[in-house]
Amino acid sequence: MSEKTEVIDKKDIVIRFSGDSGDGMQLTGQQFSDAAALFGNGVSTFPDYPAEIRAPQGTVGGVSGFQVHIGNDPIKTPGDFADVLVAMNPAALKANLRWAKKGATIIVNLDAFTDKNIEKAGYKENPLEDAVLQDYNVVPVKITTLTEEVLKDSGLDQKSIVKCKNMFALGMIYWMFDRTVDHTRDFINQKFAKKPEIASANVKVLESGFNYASNVHALAVHFNVAPAQIEKGRYRTITGNKATAWGFLAAAEKANLPLFCGSYPITPATDILQELALRRDLGVKTYQAEDEIAGICTSIGASYVGNLAITTTSGPGLALKSEAAGLAVMAELPLVIVDVQRGGPSTGLPTKTEQSDLLQALYGRNGESPMPVVAASTPGNCFDYAFWAAKIAVEHMTPVVLLTDGFVANGSGSWKLPNLDTYPEIKPQYVTPEMKDNYTPYKRNPENQVRYWAIPGQEGYTHILGGLEKDSNTGAISTDPENHNLMCHLRAEKVAKIAVPDVEVQGCADDADLLIVGFGGTYGHLYSAMEEMNKAGQKVALAHFSYINPLPKNTAEVLKKYKKVVVAEQNLGQFAGYLRMKVDNFTPYQFNEVKGQPFVVSELVAAFTEILKK
């Protein structure tokens, strides 16, 4: 290491990796994230996938990015702007320069800056020779050439050699942030255990990138980010989709029920189905259906015969599932429908994030079809809300919608492994032997209106469920108007009586001049905006909702306590409208963006400050 190396201590830092879809930027970013988490840093990530399938190489539409924010405190967002940007080609630079701070270090793969690639990216001149980059520390490195030189005697073909170049960039970043390559070396050797020549090549390039950085004067700076002071325990990085799958595994164990997932693959929800498919060792049954309708219908069938049943989808799939979701409401069967929200309408922005399915989740079915709606807010707590959604479904004999979104589902963060002994038992509402002589399908618990669950095959409990209205006493098909009115009210009352925790107010809870209100995956950004404003001497609080239907009982009390309230959401005002409908004389300010990207904290602070001035 050079004696000229300067070490700069940083509280936190943001790195953004970017390149073509085939450049391995997601893998590179995730490896750095995992290494930082193992070191003890707080971590939050944002994978930014291209929305086009197989967009032409070298074009802005085909750029794939991965942003990671590490710090010596718990990290709640992937950061607004990058301190370090890795751009593997001109298109990556063009797509991501706006996300780099002034003065940021930009490492570019000089080999990719050919006339052809510069033109494909939409530049008229070579951007490396443009004054627009004079405010940045640009480090041009012939990453492809150096990778080829390292592997010239490896025996690999040219395509395989070039694919290793992301490891060269990662090695440089490891040196820059004073991290060892040990974790990634072990990962590579394990991943390519059956292809030792590939493993050896990637490790060699990784180490060469590290060594190269240690000898280049342009990178003669180390950034030191100390470990975070966090609660003791076992931690790992986890994505929201994986945490969601694991939450259902925990719920099935607590309910003593077999777990079934019937789904159709759809971005960005597919990983939940794939993760559960790996858990045959825990008795999980998964079914990849031919379409969204078949997916939910198989899950309804599985629920009918006594499984904890789930189905996973995104906005377009939720629309297709609507009729069958109504069947689950009418049959009063436990089912969790996971909706990983993405940009819409129609096919929209399949790989981007949004919160625009809220009203569809609440009301997107024919007839009076009340359904609980729960929203996760971080990658880690997807585990908890999957668990609680399953508990509500099973104990109240109802389908439940669990909302996540593309940001939460694909992003990752540090997650403390939970102690399942602290999670409550899930108690299915089974029929009892005493009911055998007078059982009917809609015999209900008088306290909470929940119908009892009879599993097919139990002698004396033969019954029929279906989409046609049933008599409240006999369970036979009924078109009687008074009975239909009664059943609609009973189904609505059952959902309304579900007890959910009060919404918590964070920040200046007692004397805030502004209350920020949000739901779901915007939590980290809204919390960070509140924190920044409070540090500046403003009095701001945050009420973030995870239970949408039914709302917490203290909702009206909280919303009417403060002088000014702003509802911030990644849609055109769906949650604000819902709250206005549920809370009398409530007229909040609104902050709405539908950009397919997470909020930018600095923009939130600016907007909320303007509201305080009004």
Helix axes of 143-150 and 196-214: crossing angle, nearest 10 degrees: 130
Confidence of residue 171 (pLDDT cuts 50, 70, 90): very high
∠ CA 282-47-175, nearest 5°, is 105
pTM for this predicted structure: 0.94
Query: Residue 132: its pLDDT value, please?
Result: 85
Share of the chain above pLDDT 90, in %: 89
Flag whether pLDDT at 112 surpasses 70.
yes
∠ CA 45-50-51, nearest 5°, is 120
Question: What tokens appear for 324 in the block?
Answer: 């069958």
Confidence of residue 202 (pLDDT cuts 50, 70, 90): very high
Q: Is the Cβ–Cβ distance between 536 and 521 less than 8 Å?
A: no
Q: Is the Cβ–Cβ distance between 379 and 239 less than 8 Å?
A: yes
Per-residue model confidence as pLDDT tens digits over 25-82: 999 999 999 999 988 999 999 999 987 777 788 899 999 999 999 999 889 999 999 9
Encoded amino acid at 504, one letter: E
Peptide bond into 127 cis (omega under 30): no
Query: Residue 130: its pLDDT value, please?
Result: 86
The stretch 490-512 carries a mean pLDDT of 97
CA distance readout (Å), 478 to 69, 223, 469, 483, 484: 58, 72, 6, 7, 8
Query: Residue 230: its pLDDT value, please?
Result: 80
CA 380, CA 382: separation in Å to the nearest integer? 5
Encoded amino acid at 349, one letter: L
Beta bridge partners, 259, equal 308
Per-residue model confidence as pLDDT tens digits over 209-268: 999 998 876 676 778 898 888 888 888 899 999 999 999 999 999 999 999 999 999 999
The stretch 565-571 carries a mean pLDDT of 98
Query: Residue 220: its pLDDT value, please?
Result: 63
Per-residue model confidence as pLDDT tens digits over 460-495: 899 999 999 999 999 999 999 999 999 999 999 999
The stretch 103-114 carries a mean pLDDT of 96
CA 133, CA 113: separation in Å to the nearest integer? 15
Per-residue model confidence as pLDDT tens digits over 285-312: 999 999 999 999 999 999 999 999 999 9
CA 105, CA 90: separation in Å to the nearest integer? 16
Q: How far apart are the first and last CA of the chain?
A: 56
| Average model confidence (pLDDT) across the chain | 95
Decide: residue 531, CB within 10 A, 0-12 exposed, 13-18 middle, 19+ buried.
Answer: middle
Encoded amino acid at 482, one letter: E
The stretch 13-36 carries a mean pLDDT of 94
Flag whether pLDDT at 1 surpasses 50.
no
Strand ranges inside 448-559, DSSP E: 505-507, 514-519, 540-545, 547-549
Express the helix, strand and coil content of the chain in percent, nearest 5 each.
40, 20, 35
Decide: residue 35, CB within 10 A, 0-12 exposed, 13-18 middle, 19+ buried.
Answer: buried
Query: Residue 5: its pLDDT value, please?
Result: 64
Query: Residue 271: its pLDDT value, please?
Result: 97
Question: What tokens appear for 241 in the block?
Answer: 């989709």
Query: Residue 233: its pLDDT value, please?
Result: 85
Residue 64 CB: number of other CB atoms within 10 A?
24
Flag whether pLDDT at 201 surpasses 80.
yes
> Quick one: DSSP state of residue 166?
H
Flag whether pLDDT at 87 surpasses 60.
yes
